């Protein structure tokens, strides 16, 4: 009698897992995949806009952050501007007539905090941050929170996931400048 009850209890537990938990896990996985695709689209559009115009306006940045917030997940946005600096190469640095015809390119990294500070300090003139042709823009977006699929995965498999649920990074060379 007890063996039949144990078998019934095991069957009910297995039924719950198969009929409820795994379909829910599949739905959450699908939602995560769709959210990752939407995140990639948003970041790609943001980077391509900057590459084609050579500037980042305050309203563009705020609109981008607002569209990320509409996902219902908290994100960190990192923007890196690799400013291209060209230096002529001389045989003797003290003699301009010894120019070798070569130019050395050195990239200076300007990070998010500095970009945002400059962008908002120019708010009185429309706000914005300018790039020069040939500079490189890198935008990385990382989620703070775990997705529902990650939380369920951790619960089912008893593992701790240290990776972010959502991450994307796009970069490109500035093609035009508007200043």
Position with higher pLDDT, 7 vs 86: 86
Predicted TM-score (pTM) of the model is 0.82
Q: Are 80 and 112 in contact (CB under 8 A)?
A: yes
Q: Are 55 and 128 in contact (CB under 8 A)?
A: yes
- What is the pLDDT confidence band of residue 88, given thresholds at 50, 70 and 90? confident
- What is the pLDDT confidence band of residue 6, given thresholds at 50, 70 and 90? confident
Q: Are 117 and 95 in contact (CB under 8 A)?
A: no
Q: In 3-state terms, what secondary structure has residue 2?
A: helix
Helices in the chain by DSSP H: which ranges? 2-16, 22-53, 58-69, 112-121, 148-157
Number of Cβ within a 10 Å radius of residue 18: 10
- What is the pLDDT confidence band of residue 124, given thresholds at 50, 70 and 90? low
pLDDT digits (tens, 9 = 90+) for 36-80: 999 999 999 999 999 999 999 999 999 999 999 988 888 999 999
Q: Are 151 and 143 in contact (CB under 8 A)?
A: no
CA 76-109-114 angle, 5° bins: 60
Number of Cβ within a 10 Å radius of residue 36: 16
Instruction: Judge whether residue 177 has pLDDT over 60.
Output: yes
Q: Tell me what pLDDT residue 2 has.
A: 58
């Amino acid at each position: 009698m007890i063996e039949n009850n144990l078998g019934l209890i095991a069957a009910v537990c297995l039924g719950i897992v198969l009929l409820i938990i795994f379909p829910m896990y599949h739905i959450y996985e699908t939602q995560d995949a769709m959210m990752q695709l939407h995140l990639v689209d948003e970041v790609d559009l943001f980077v391509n806009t900057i590459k084609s115009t050579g500037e980042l306006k305050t309203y563009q940045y705020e609109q981008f952050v607002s569209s990320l917030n509409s996902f219902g997940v908290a994100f960190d946005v990192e923007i890196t501007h690799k400013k291209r600096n060209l230096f002529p190469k001389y045989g003797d640095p003290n003699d301009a007539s010894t120019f070798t015809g070569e130019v050395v390119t050195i990239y200076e990294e300007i990070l998010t905090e500095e970009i945002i500070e400059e962008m908002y300090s120019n708010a009185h003139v429309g706000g914005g941050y300018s790039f020069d042709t040939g500079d490189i823009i890198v935008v990385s977006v990382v989620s703070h929170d775990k997705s529902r699929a990650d939380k369920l995965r951790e619960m089912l498999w008893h593992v701790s996931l240290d990776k972010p649920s959502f991450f994307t990074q796009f970069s490109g060379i500035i093609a035009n400048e508007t200043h």
